[in-house]
Every structure is written in C-alpha cells, then in structure tokens.
C-alpha cells in the first residue's frame, strides 16, 4: 500500500481541515472519457509489436464498443435533448455542445479506425497470408467458384425492396449492412431506387477458395460478392450504381416497472420497440453519390454531423471472423488457466470435497488465471449433487446460452433442494436470453425472482446452506464478475469462496431483501448498495484523510471499470489535498482529473488493456496498517451506488490482502506497460523502456504467478 506520513494542508485548532473550494472544472466529461478508452483499444490495434490477428481483434472490439456507445450513450443524450429533459453534464456543459464534441471526436476515431485497417492491419494480415480481397482482383476461376457459392447459398435468400410511390422507403434495422441500388428500366429509361439487406445470418467474410490452406487464405466481403451479382436480382433492368450503408438506432431499453405487474411481458414489448428506435448514426461508403446520400439523410431524418463517410468495408466487426483463424503464431501465446492451489485434485486425480476445503479457509480465485470451471462451477455442481445441501440461492446477471451454472440449478431443484435464482432480466443486451433462462428455471421448479422494483440486481452472489451433523453451515461465493463460463476465460475477475458464518448470515439477509419485502440496514462483512455502500466508502476515504492530517501513514487504492460519481471523486480530491496518496486503476470511463495543483496532486491514474478485459473491482485502504480491502461488483457510478443492488465483501486472510497489494504494485510499476492519465486529460501509453524494449505485460505476469503458486504449492 502506498503510504505517506507527510503533513496535510492547513488545519484549524481542533484539527479539522480548512477546506478550499474545489474548482468547477474538476471532472472530465464522461462521454469523451469513454471515447478515450476506446481510443486506447485502437492504439493496441495500431501496435506493430502485437500479433496481427490480435490487432484485427482489437479493431473488431473497437467497432463493437462504438456501436454500443451510440446505441446507448449517444441515444440517451439525444433523447433527453429532444424531450427537453437534458440538464448540464457533469462538467457543466450544455448537452447540445457535448453532443457536438462527441460527434467531432467520434468522426476522428472512426476515420482513424478505418485507416488503421486500410494502412496497418490489412497489409500486415496480407503479409501473414491472410487476404481480404475485392471482386475485381480475382481471376475468372475464383469468380466461377464464388458464383456457385452465391447461386446456391446467397441468391435464394436475398430480398430486394423497391422504393417508389407504391413502395415507401423500407424500415432499415439497426446495425444491418445494406446496399443502396440505382437501376434503370431498359425499356422506358426510367431510373429507380432499391434497397438490399445483406443477410446477417451468413458469414460476413466468404472464403474465396476453400482448398486454400490456413497459411494462405483469401476472403471476400459478403456485400462485395452480392454487389457483383445484382443483375440476377433485377432482370430487364440496368444496374447503374450501388453503395453500402449502415444505420445505428437508439436501442436502449427503458421501462417503468411500477406501472406494470408483469415485468417480463413489459420487457418483451420494449425489446420489440427497440428494433424501431430512431436513427442516431448513418455510415456510408466513401463512393456514395450525393443524390443517394441526400435520400438517406432525408428518409432517416438525421443531421449532417450524424453521417459518417468511410472507406469500405464498413462494420469492421467482421474481423472477429478473421481472428478465429487457427494460426498460433499470429495470436498471443496461449494461456492455460490453472486450478487454484487449494482446489487441485488429489494425487489420484479425484476432485476435492470443495465444502471440506472451504470450511478450512477462505479461498480467493483469480480468473482467468485460475480456472472458473474447477472453482465456481465446481462449487455449484457439487452443491447440486450433494444430498446434505438443503438450499442454493444465486444471482444471475449474465450467463451463457448453454450455461452449466443454470444446469446445476435445475438439477438441484429437480432433486428436491430449495433453489432461488435472482435473474436480472434487465441486463442490457442480454434481456432476451435472460427471459428465456428465467422461464426454463421456473419450469424446473426453481424459485425465480426479478429483484426490487426500480433497482437492477448486479451483485454476484451464491449462498449454499448445508446440513452437517445436525447444524446448518453457510458456504458462499461473492465475485466481481458474472457467472458465465465463457466470459470467465476472457474477463479478469476475483471471487471469494468462504464458509464464514458472518458472510453467510449477511447473505441470508441480502437474499431476503432480494426475494421478499425485507429492508435490511445492518451487514457485518458486506457493504451493500444502494443503502450503505456510498457512505461506507466515503467513511473509509475520510478516515484515510484524517490519518494524513494527523501525520500518520495513509493510502487509498482503487481498481475499477468506471469512476464518474462526483461525490466519490470529490472525497478522493479532498483526501489527496490532505496528503493521502491515491492510486486509481481504471479500465474505462474516468471522471477524475489527475495531478491538478490544489486538489489532485497526490492522485495517480493508470489504465491497463490487454488480451483479457480487466473487470475486477477492488477498494483498498491503509487503515492504520490493518489493511481494509474489499472486492465486489460495484463501479463508482451513480447507477451502481444509487440504482443497483451491489455488494462488496471484506477480505480477511492476510495472504489475500498481500495478493491484492502485489496486483497494485505491478499495475503501477514502471516496468509494466500501461496508460497514464496526464494533467491535461490525455492518456499516454507507456509500453517501451528508454531503450525501446517492450515493457512487461501485466496479464502475462499474473498468469505466470498463478502457475508458480500451483507448481510450488505456495498458498
């Protein structure tokens, strides 16, 4: 833990701080900060030292991230402006001005993104034998092969739609790729307009010749293949030109829970409405003529700043397909998760009795370095099988379609156990999947609840009650990430497995809040939002500030996905002003201005991006030398602190606290690659040393540490 014994600012005679007014420009705009995060993703794609298929993956991630940003953040801001509900942003700027700033930065980033593909990643892929080619570059033999594929697999499902007085402009679904086509009647000479949707269920990139080896492979974009066979769709007509376009719509979901008795039905209706949300961005190929562009702008009723003119191909999410190529030398070296040292099988490869192991000690698992399958999933599967287990309670925010977690809950219910699943069906963009699983769970006899009206349930909890020698014992898991075996392999998360009676009683209270009408105000080892978390964290921050003012060692370390809550940020500013060293490790949006004279001189902010998505949330306080460390599900955002059920759990095992300290030491080390937030609000990537050699990769080091613990048995 970073410590200081330096005196803080001036204090009054009773040792209370003399507070200076914090400046009005002390926050960064959250939307622009998010765009800065996505720029960091793009910088990874631009890095020639990274494997080329990983660079292609980062381009696809950037595109996917930006789509969601428009569908949710930009859409929400525009909706508030149109309804007259918009208020000045967290930096005091008018929403119209912020929208203009977002548009300017988004245009810059999308152009940079396209150039990164055209000039950097595309050529590097070709050099490695992976080619995305155009129709015109192919010889006749290749064209014949593709024509057969087109005729058999694509042509029968295409649906050209005419636009004329008898056929109004068709509805264009969000994020679909489309061709605008101008055709001419060869008999009358009259020109017409048509729209053709590129089928979304087909591979976006088509292999030119499947006989090619993976060392030399060529793809053609599906829209390019379709565009060069338009004559078959319009017999008797002359195709004059065609262009590619794509529209993004408002796809945020908003429902008033207190106005409906059936949340699932209300959400299903809202998901249907989502398909018809208003357009908020139009992407068009750079060769589109002015007449066609004007038609689209008029029909979509959008402004000039919402039009993005880009080189083909549009929608570089297609590169997710390229990233799947089995060329190990073009990927990051493979990481294989290890089993946590306390959960490893016996010498004859038998699974350990997980309840016996947990009853002896708390276990902190770190994914994906340590396996989710042999820890959390094993915990639930053994609970489902164990005849001594009487009840299982779990929160489900996001999970995979073939989830073994859900299967374990169903198995437990079918065997007669009491099973409660708190399914958050309002998890953005996972609503339909969660509705499906909720119904499947209900049919199996699981008690399914949907939480508290007006609040999302975001906490990650499992509570197992087991009878042992006539006494009920509590076994619990509290995590920072979702119960999703698939994302557990690419999301960095922490989880605590414990048989603590204190934690078990806390979870009993919390699940009663989630499933019933209880209003619980007291927890011992948990910090729960929305009632307690904000004040609990503010109290801890102030305690560090008081220590610094008294000349005692102090320190605050936070690892977070996003931090924009003004009250928390102001508390950190004041603690910094009192002499507390504050380290913030943030992945995404950051409202803090670091290193500012008079209020944030003692705040350092770092960001680390890599093959795994940094997802764990950690709050660590020096606490007079008795380290106070909590992990859990909450980011420092208004929604997490005020409109969600979140939970942090206190770590008590010295080795777990040491492990967290080592994580922070690595993240802020000069030998590890990271981005630093500068005083001017920009992010500087530090990834090479003074001699130009690459700095260490935090995630590689963490994987090596996990394997080292397993090999040496260092627990």
Contact 618, 557 (CB under 8 A): yes
- Cα 610 vs. chain centroid, distance in angstroms? 13
Neighbouring C-beta atoms of residue 37, cutoff 10 Å: 21
Distances (CA, A) of 136 to 285, 289, 641: 17, 21, 56
Contact 54, 320 (CB under 8 A): no
Which two tokens mark 457? 């349930």
Distances (CA, A) of 329 to 53, 125, 214, 325: 9, 12, 12, 11
Q: What is the rounded distance in angstroms from the CA atom of residue 162 to the CA atom of residue 164?
A: 6
Diameter of the chain measured on Cα atoms: 96
Element (H, E) at 184: strand 177-185
CA angle 378, 379, 382 (to 5 degrees): 80
Residue 392's SS3 state is: strand
Instruction: Give backbone dihedrals phi and psi of 60, rounded to 5 degrees, phi first.
Output: -65, -40
Contact 74, 280 (CB under 8 A): yes
Q: What is the DSSP string of 441-460?
A: HHHTT-EEE---TT-EE--E
Which two tokens mark 157? 């499902």
Distances (CA, A) of 78 to 27, 239, 402: 22, 38, 37
* Sheet with 161-163: strands ordered across: 161-163, 191-197, 177-185, 237-249, 279-285, 307-310
Q: What is the rounded distance in angstroms from the CA atom of residue 602 to the CA atom of residue 558?
A: 14
| CA dihedral of residues 527, 531, 536, 542 (deg, nearest 10) | 160
The length of the chain in residues reads 715
Beta-bridged to residue 604, according to DSSP, are 583
Sequence-separated (6 or more) residues with CB below 8 Å from residue 294: none
Residue whose token pair is 């794609």 = 45
Instruction: Give backbone dihedrals phi and psi of 304, rounded to 5 degrees, phi first.
Output: -60, -35
Enter the DSSP assignment of 168: P
Beta-bridged to residue 473, according to DSSP, are 466
CA angle 206, 207, 210 (to 5 degrees): 145
Residue whose token pair is 């357009």 = 279
Q: What is the rounded distance in angstroms from the CA atom of residue 496 to the CA atom of residue 474?
A: 14
Contact 168, 299 (CB under 8 A): no
| CA dihedral of residues 572, 592, 99, 68 (deg, nearest 10) | -100
Residue 99's SS3 state is: helix
Distances (CA, A) of 487 to 159, 180, 502, 660: 36, 37, 30, 22
Q: What is the rounded distance in angstroms from the CA atom of residue 169 to the CA atom of residue 291?
A: 15
The candidate with the shortest Cα–Cα distance to 366, out of 497, 494, 496, 498, is 494
Catalytic residues: 458
Residue 376's SS3 state is: helix
What does DSSP say about strands 279-285 and 237-249: parallel, antiparallel, or unpaired? antiparallel
Residue 468's SS3 state is: strand
């Amino acid at each position: 833990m970073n410590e200081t014994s330096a005196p803080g600012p001036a204090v009054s005679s009773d040792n209370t701080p003399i507070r200076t007014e914090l400046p009005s420009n002390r926050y960064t705009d959250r939307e622009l900060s998010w765009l800065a995060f996505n720029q960091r993703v793009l910088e990874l794609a631009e890095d020639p030292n990274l494997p080329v298929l990983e660079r292609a993956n980062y381009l696809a991630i950037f595109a996917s991230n930006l789509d969601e940003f428009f569908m949710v953040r930009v859409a929400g801001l525009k909706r508030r402006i149109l309804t007259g509900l918009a208020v000045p942003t967290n930096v005091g700027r008018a929403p119209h001005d912020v929208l203009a700033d977002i548009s300017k930065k988004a245009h810059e980033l999308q152009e940079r993104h396209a150039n990164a593909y055209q000039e950097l990643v595309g050529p590097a892929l070709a050099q490695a034998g992976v080619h995305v080619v155009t129709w015109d570059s192919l010889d006749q033999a290749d064209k014949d092969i593709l024509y057969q594929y087109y005729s058999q697999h694509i042509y029968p499902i295409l649906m050209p739609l005419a636009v004329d007085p008898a056929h109004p402009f068709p509805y264009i679904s969000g994020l679909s790729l489309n061709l605008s086509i101008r055709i001419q009647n060869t008999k009358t000479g009259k020109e017409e307009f048509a729209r053709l949707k590129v089928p979304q269920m087909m591979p976006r990139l088509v292999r030119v010749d499947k006989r090619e080896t993976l060392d030399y492979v060529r793809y053609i974009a599906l829209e390019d293949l379709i565009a060069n066979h338009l004559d078959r769709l319009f017999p008797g007509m002359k195709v004059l030109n065609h262009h590619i376009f794509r529209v993004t719509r408002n796809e945020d979901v908003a429902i008033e829970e207190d106005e409906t008795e059936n949340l699932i039905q209300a959400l299903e209706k809202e998901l249907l409405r989502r398909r018809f949300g208003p357009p908020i961005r139009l992407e068009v190929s750079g060769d589109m003529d002015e007449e066609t562009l004007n038609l689209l702008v008029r029909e979509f009723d959008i402004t000039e700043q919402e039009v993005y003119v880009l080189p083909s191909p549009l929608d570089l999410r297609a590169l997710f397909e390229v990233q799947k190529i089995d060329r190990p030398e073009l990927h990051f070296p493979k990481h294989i998760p290890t089993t946590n040292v306390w959960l490893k099988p016996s010498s004859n490869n038998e699974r350990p009795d997980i309840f016996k192991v947990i009853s002896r000690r708390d276990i902190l698992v770190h994914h994906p370095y340590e396996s989710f399958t042999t820890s959390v999933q094993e915990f639930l599967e053994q609970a489902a099988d164990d005849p001594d287990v009487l009840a299982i309670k779990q929160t489900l925010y996001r999970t995979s379609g073939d989830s073994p977690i859900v299967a374990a809950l169903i198995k437990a219910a079918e065997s007669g156990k009491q099973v409660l699943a708190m399914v958050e069906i309002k998890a953005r963009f996972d609503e339909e999947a969660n509705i499906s699983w909720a119904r499947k769970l209900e049919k199996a006899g699981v008690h399914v609840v949907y939480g508290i009206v007006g609040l999302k349930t975001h906490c990650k909890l499992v509570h197992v009650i087991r009878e042992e020698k006539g006494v009920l014992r509590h076994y619990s898991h509290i995590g920072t990430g979702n119960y999703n075996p698939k994302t557990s392999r690419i999301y960095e998360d922490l989880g605590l497995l414990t048989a603590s009676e204190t934690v078990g009683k806390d979870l009993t209270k919390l699940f009663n809040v989630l499933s019933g009408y209880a209003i619980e105000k007291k927890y011992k080892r948990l910090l729960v939002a929305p009632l307690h978390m904000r004040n609990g964290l503010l109290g801890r921050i102030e305690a560090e500030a008081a220590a610094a003012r008294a000349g005692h060692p102090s320190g605050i370390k936070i690892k977070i996905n996003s931090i924009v809550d003004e009250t928390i940020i102001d508390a950190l500013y004041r603690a910094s002003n009192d002499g507390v060293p504050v380290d913030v490790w943030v992945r995404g949006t950051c409202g803090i201005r670091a290193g500012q004279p008079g209020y944030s001189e003692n705040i350092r902010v770092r960001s680390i991006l890599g093959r795994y998505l940094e997802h764990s949330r950690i709050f660590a306080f020096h606490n007079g030398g008795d380290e106070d460390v909590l992990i859990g599900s909450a980011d420092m955002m208004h929604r997490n602190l005020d409109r969600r059920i979140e939970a942090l759990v206190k770590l008590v095992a010295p080795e777990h606290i040491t492990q967290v300290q080592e994580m922070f030491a690595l993240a802020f080390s000069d030998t590890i690659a990271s981005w630093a937030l500068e005083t001017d609000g920009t992010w500087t990537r530090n990834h090479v040393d003074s001699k130009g050699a690459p700095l260490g990769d935090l995630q590689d080091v963490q994987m090596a540490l996990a394997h080292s613990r397993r090999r040496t048995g260092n627990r």
